[in-house]
A and B are shown apart, each in its own frame.
Chain A
Amino acid sequence: MKSFKLVGLALLWLGLVGKEHNQNPLFFELPLQIEDSFERIEMAELMEEGFIEPISIALNRDSERPLFYESTIRTTVCDDEICEIMYIKLYWDLVGDYVGYDTVATHPLTKFDHEPFTENDYSKLHELLNNDGSILKFKQKSELIDKEKIKASDVVDGTTGATALEIKDEVVEGALYSSYTLWHLSHSGKIKNMINEHTEKLYDSSLKNIFIASGRTGYKYFVIQRLTDQDYISDTDLWTGFLISDIPLAKKKILNNIPNLLLDKESIQLELAALFSSLDVNSRTVLLNKFQDAQFVYESAIEELSKNIYLMNKNQTNVFLTLIEGGLFKGDLLISNLKTAYNNTKFAYGYLLEDFIKNNYED
């Protein structure tokens, strides 16, 4: 009982005066422990309409490398009736993606009725901020409340049911405007750009390798955006690896950026053709268009692609047939695959193949 009281007193002290500097944040997604030895470098300031003071963004790094960015923010949260000042510490990774938040000493988060956040509210807030595709992204502040539902007794940011239905599950109950303000700060395009520009200055082969090994989509995309023609030529395993495992946007980016010099190689064409079935529909279109741009398309690549005709949409099938026509390919495997696809009842565009086979491969 005595020790319980001591723990209680210690926690009360933390609640009153705030946390020790080296304590880890409430939520932090990066796999590292924040330490006192980290160097904290003020990187930039951002001042915008609606801010009461500039947001200062700092880079944290250890002796070897940059680690993450952070900002202690004091901002206003207003509804139609009242404005409050909210304090929060936000964390971003090295490419400006939100990774966590913390409360600021003596300023716990509260709802508009001054009730403090509960444990669930804190978790819900992190869940909300972690969702970069939240519906809040597309909402104006004026759309957060269903004005028709407001009763005279309502606290606007409260739990009264006036919150627009489609966002009700996406915000912390009773803290609608705080949730909205914090989501837009965590995912601010301007902050992300500032962070990216700063990381760009620090980017070297060592950081590149860390990004590749990180497993973080944002980090890999940062690398992909910066691949040079020489990188494509000298490190085929790297970009083909990204093509297999990464997000559609990254695949599209890689396919668009493969230098023509490389695309003229048979081994590369064959490797790309073999990846066709693992690509998303847009990347498949980009790949086929890329083949159209190549100076020369190898029969081996066409044969490889022909194994997956049944996966092509109408436009892709037409592009593929143009590729065959252009190369006057007549290999047995190709013809056999075309006929198989034509006879595949599940392939909706078999009819496109009928005339093609008749005109090109039948007497």
Chain B
Amino acid sequence: MKCFFIFSILVSSYCNSTAQNLKLLDKAAPQFELLSYSGEGFSLEDAKGKVIILDFWATWCAPCIKAFPAMIAVEKSFFSDNDVIFLYVNSLEVKGKTTDNVFDFLQKRGLDINFYKDTNDVVSKAFSVTGLPVKIVIDKSGIVRYMDSGFAGDNQELIAKLTNEIERLR
């Protein structure tokens, strides 16, 4: 029993460290590369000088889908700024679901998103993403400046928060 208690405490400290990993705030973002459904490549290394917004999502994640209209609204407001890049990272996806399946999923819902496939969940692992949705903003020098998980359903709040953050960093 005692051992179990000690074990719990140690696991607890391990978990807290995992949670801290998720908060990479003000730290250098891990390097990563992605390929979009339409075939465009992205490399963080090549994106120095740009503000990057990562939106980790999956088709099974209802709050992720619910947050898309707000995300699209923010993306549109920065449409003319080539130094602001939105990456909708399809990660932790259902095994066997192809990018075509994911594309169909978005089309059926009228969501016009150029998503990036996180093959083998490499990028989500690098950012210690264990739940969805997660939104991350990386500044022009490659430092993580914003991390948020979940979506409570308030579009205006999300739009305001992200817009302010991007305005601050661009």
Contact = CB atoms under 8 A, between A and B. Distances in A.
Given A108-B11, A114-B16, 10 more contacts: A11-B6, A15-B14, A52-B93, A53-B95, A54-B95, A80-B153, A81-B63, A114-B15, A116-B11, A117-B8
Contacts, number: 84
B131 A85 contact: yes
A286 interface: no
B131 A82 contact: yes
Interface of B: 1, 3-8, 10-16, 19, 58, 60-64, 92-96, 130-133, 149-153
B95 A83 contact: no
Interface residues of A, number: 28
Contacts of A11: 3, 6-7, 10
Given A81-B151, A81-B153, A108-B15, A12 B10 contact: yes
Interface of A: 7-8, 11-12, 14-16, 50-54, 76, 78, 80-85, 108, 110, 114-119
Main secondary structure of the interface of A (DSSP, over half): mixed
Given A11-B3, A119-B4, A52 B60 contact: yes
Contacts of A85: 92, 130-131
B96 to A, nearest CB: 8
Nearest to B97: A52
Contact of B11 (A7, A15, A81, A84): A15
A20 to B, nearest CB: 14
B11 A83 contact: no
Contacts of B96: 53
B129 to A, nearest CB: 10
A12 B14 contact: yes
B6 A7 contact: yes
B95 to A, nearest CB: 4
Contacts of A110: 15
A148 B64 CA distance: 24
Contact of A82 (B11, B19, B149): B149
Nearest to B67: A81
A82 B7 CA distance: 28
B4 A83 contact: no
B155 to A, nearest CB: 14
24 contacts: A8-B6, A8-B10, A11-B3, A14-B7, A15-B7, A50-B60, A51-B94, A52-B60, A52-B95, A78-B60, A78-B63, A80-B63, A80-B153, A81-B63, A81-B151, A81-B152, A82-B63, A82-B132, A83-B61, A83-B131, A115-B12, A116-B12, A117-B8, A118-B8
B42 to A, nearest CB: 24
A16 B11 CA distance: 7
Contacts of B11: 15, 108, 116
B77 to A, nearest CB: 24
A84 B63 CA distance: 11
Contacts of A54: 95
Contacts of B7: 11, 14-15
Contacts of A80: 62-63, 152-153
